Amino acid sequence: MSSYIFKVVMVGDPAVGKTSLVMRYVQGFFQHDYKSTVGTQIMSKEVYVKGVMVKLSIWDIGGQEKFDTLAPTYYKGAVGGLAVFDLTHRETFENVPKWISRVQKYGNPNSPIIIVGNKSDLVDERQVSLDEAMELADKLGFPYVEASAKSGKNVIKIFELIAEKIVSRKIEG
């Protein structure tokens, strides 16, 4: 059985829940006390996709502007990306195109990307509608998934979806 290692970058504004999503996926739990990611944090998990064992090397990239000069280093070699925003903070949604353009500029311009609206469990605090998010995703040409690191909703789905898209492009051609 063949196995592959694929670098996936998680991008988005600070405090949108990138680290929480990765922790929930890789380690299976939600951490309530949030600590800002400094630079980048790398975690990995093996997943079986389309008959192939794939190891996702997930690069959780800090969203602070002070790390912008290091961006080319963090994105280099990425074959997929998750552009994450916080459904309860509209500005993070409006910045999604900026994050996607960085993945395309510093990583592979043809990398599959999934747009992720995080914190879907905070229904009463929502500032971005499903229709708005779907419209942006359609405009940018990428799939959209809503998730909650806290409840676990769709967390596995977003990582499996990006793995499937990468395998389709990289292995199946």
Distance between CA atoms of 19 and 172, rounded to whole angstroms? 30
Q: What is the pLDDT of residue 146?
A: 99
Sequence-distant (6+) residues with CB within 8 A of 173 are none
pLDDT in tens, 135-162: 999 999 999 999 999 999 999 999 999 9
In which domain, by residue range, is 25 found? 3-170
- The residue with greater pLDDT, 171 or 94, is 94
Q: Based on the structure, what is the number of domains in the chain?
A: 1
The percentage of residues in the chain with a pLDDT greater than 70, rounded to a whole number, is 86
CATH number for the domain harbouring residue 17 = 3.40.50.300
Distance between CA atoms of 41 and 57, rounded to whole angstroms? 10
pLDDT in tens, 63-75: 656 556 666 788 8
